[in-house]
């Protein structure tokens, strides 16, 4: 297995497996969309309505029956695309426009596979395309994108592009201009990412660490000149953010910001125990739709007594969890940078800090999905590719992750992919008669009956609680490891 995916040697040329993997990874989302006519009808119908409002020049101000709850870029890449399809192809029927919209999402899924492959190349895997294809297949990444009809995959595209661009800006073989251009691409991609869905603010600690690391590397290599260029790039990116954020009028008195408006409006998911997802609070035995603000225990100190709700406890747990991650992450990254080596010993290549940051990003999403109330079934989608690529990297470097642990992580990802597919396929069967005029439930492929366990949110909750504990243990062991200075290897 390690010989198959060994990340220390060059890939063989003329290997039929490599071009086959590229073709399969690119073609599969289009094949699935063509042969599996399933999607989340109410979600995509809502996008179509947003597109109609956008075409009429009204988005947040007057778009009945419910104001859009995505920031400006999210509106453009969902309803805006459907409106463009209708206009360019002369289509008036929304179901026909949705058919082409799903192929647009399939294209995004194909690009995500290529970006995962490119990230694997940056991490110096021997066969990065196999890494990209493996993550795509195990996670069944299309379930939350082109099959669902949602734009989480568009967010993943911007996230991967930003990550790749920032990592590329660290190159010591590039000129200052080339590294600045990579950094600019990363910042612009980050702006697009954050303005796609307000949920993606959970990636900000990861990108803050990446940008701080980039700033240190620029200061060390280019001194003051590098920092001036970085500062100018950040100001340009801020202008880009403000322009896109204020693209549409919003009903706020003081500031025209789609992002703040959507944050202020809120989705209401956090007020529930669970929004069709899985977390620790589903084990209280309450209905998933029950209020998460009702106390489930009392905290008493002397005469002082206060009820603690799942909502409050979740916020406290996640704040402590992220505090731990950020503190240990800052210390570890600083240790790596200060010693001017990115290896615990010479055999580990310079991708160590990149792998650590990817693990940090994945843990950020896994922690919030498990610890906070109201988590949705797709909330873990952005973080999972980063979990898998970091765990695979650690395994193939013989670095704290055993084969058994790797297989357990892949199993958790497979269970999550099955869970997402079961959610969308069952939703389509339920919605087709109500919204699409089907006289009988449509005949669509569901999960095999012996996979029933993967449809249970309690099972997914248990699996991912164990995954969180395992990855936190890996993280704390990594944070305790001492860097070996280059001089000590002589």
The whole-number pLDDT of residue 8 equals 46
Q: How far is CA 269 from CA 195, 247, 276, 383, 481, in A?
A: 19, 26, 10, 19, 39
List the structure tokens of 61.
């101000």
pLDDT tens-digit series, residues 283-331: 998 888 888 888 888 887 777 788 889 999 999 999 999 999 999 999 9
pLDDT at 431 over 70: yes
Are 155 and 118 in contact by the 8 Å Cβ rule? The answer is no
At 448, the pLDDT band (50, 70, 90 cuts) reads confident
The whole-number pLDDT of residue 443 equals 84
Distance CA 365, CA 229 (A): 32
The whole-number pLDDT of residue 165 equals 98
Q: At what angle do helices 403-435 and 41-55 cross, to 10 degrees?
A: 70
The whole-number pLDDT of residue 9 equals 46
Are 119 and 112 in contact by the 8 Å Cβ rule? The answer is no
Distance CA 442, CA 393 (A): 42
Distance CA 57, CA 42 (A): 23
Q: CA angle 156-420-381, nearest 5°?
A: 25
Distance CA 62, CA 47 (A): 15
* Residue 422 CB neighbours (<10 A): 19
At 489, the pLDDT band (50, 70, 90 cuts) reads very low
The whole-number pLDDT of residue 484 equals 57
The whole-number pLDDT of residue 490 equals 38
Distance CA 186, CA 207 (A): 10
pLDDT tens-digit series, residues 71-124: 999 999 999 999 999 999 999 889 999 999 999 999 999 999 999 999 999 999
Are 343 and 351 in contact by the 8 Å Cβ rule? The answer is no
At 488, the pLDDT band (50, 70, 90 cuts) reads very low
Instruction: State percent of the chain over pLDDT 90.
Output: 64
Is the pTM for the entire model greater than 0.85?
yes
Task: Choose the weakest-confidence range: 181-190, 218-227, 345-354.
Answer: 345-354
What is the H or E stretch that residue 360 is in? helix 352-371
Task: Choose the weakest-confidence range: 115-119, 381-385, 393-397.
Answer: 393-397
pLDDT at 152 over 50: yes
What is the H or E stretch that residue 207 is in? helix 204-245
pLDDT tens-digit series, residues 255-296: 789 999 888 876 666 688 988 889 999 999 888 888 888 888
Residue range 369-387: average pLDDT? Answer: 93
Distance CA 143, CA 190 (A): 24
């Amino acid at each position: 297995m390690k010989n198959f995916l060994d990340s220390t040697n060059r890939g063989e040329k003329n290997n039929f497996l490599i071009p086959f993997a590229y073709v399969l990874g690119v073609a599969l989302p289009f094949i699935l969309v063509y042969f599996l006519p399933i999607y989340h009808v109410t979600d995509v119908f809502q996008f179509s309505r947003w597109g109609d409002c956008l075409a009429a020049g009204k988005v947040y101000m007057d778009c009945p029956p419910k104001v859009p709850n995505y920031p400006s870029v999210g509106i453009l890449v969902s309803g805006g695309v459907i409106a463009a399809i209708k206009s360019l192809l002369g289509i008036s029927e929304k179901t026909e426009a949705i058919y082409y919209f799903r192929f647009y999402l399939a294209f995004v899924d194909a690009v995500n596979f290529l970006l995962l492959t490119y990230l694997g190349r940056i991490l110096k895997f021997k066969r990065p395309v196999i890494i990209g294809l493996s993550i795509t297949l195990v996670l069944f990444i299309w379930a939350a994108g082109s099959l669902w009809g949602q734009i989480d995959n568009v967010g993943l595209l911007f996230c991967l592009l930003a990550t790749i661009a920032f990592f590329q800006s660290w190159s010591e073989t590039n000129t200052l201009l080339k590294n600045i251009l990579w950094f600019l691409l990363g910042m612009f991609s980050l702006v697009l990412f954050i303005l796609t869905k307000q949920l993606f603010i959970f990636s900000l600690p990861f990108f803050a660490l990446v940008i701080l690391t980039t700033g240190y590397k620029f200061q060390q290599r280019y001194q003051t000149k590098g920092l001036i260029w970085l500062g100018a790039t950040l100001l340009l990116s801020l202008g880009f953010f403000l322009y896109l954020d204020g693209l549409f009028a919003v009903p706020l008195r003081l500031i025209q910001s789609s992002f703040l408006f959507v944050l202020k409006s809120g989705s209401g998911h956090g007020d529930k125990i669970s929004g069709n997802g899985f977390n620790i609070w589903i084990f209280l035995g309450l209905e998933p739709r029950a209020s998460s603000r009702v106390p489930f225990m009392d905290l008493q100190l002397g005469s002082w007594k206060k009820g603690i709700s799942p909502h409050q406890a979740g916020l406290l747990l996640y704040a402590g969890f992220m505090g731990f991650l950020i503190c240990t992450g800052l210390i570890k990254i600083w240790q790596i940078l200060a010693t001017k080596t990115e290896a615990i010993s010479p055999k580990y290549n310079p991708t160590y800090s990149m792998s650590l940051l990817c693990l940090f990003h994945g843990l950020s999403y896994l922690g919030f999905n498990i610890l906070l109330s109201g988590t949705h079934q797709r909330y873990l989608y952005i973080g999972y590719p980063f979990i898998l690529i970091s765990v695979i990297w650690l395994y193939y470097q013989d670095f704290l992750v055993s084969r058994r642990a790797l297989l357990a992580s892949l199993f958790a990802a497979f269970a999550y992919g099955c869970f997402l597919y079961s959610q969308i396929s069952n939703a389509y069967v339920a919605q087709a008669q109500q919204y699409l005029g089907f006289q009988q439930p449509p005949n669509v492929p569901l999960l095999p009956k012996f996979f029933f366990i993967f449809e249970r949110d309690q099972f997914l909750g248990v699996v991912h609680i164990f995954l969180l504990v395992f990855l936190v243990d890996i993280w704390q062991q990594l944070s305790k490891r001492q860097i070996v200075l280059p001089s000590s290897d002589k």
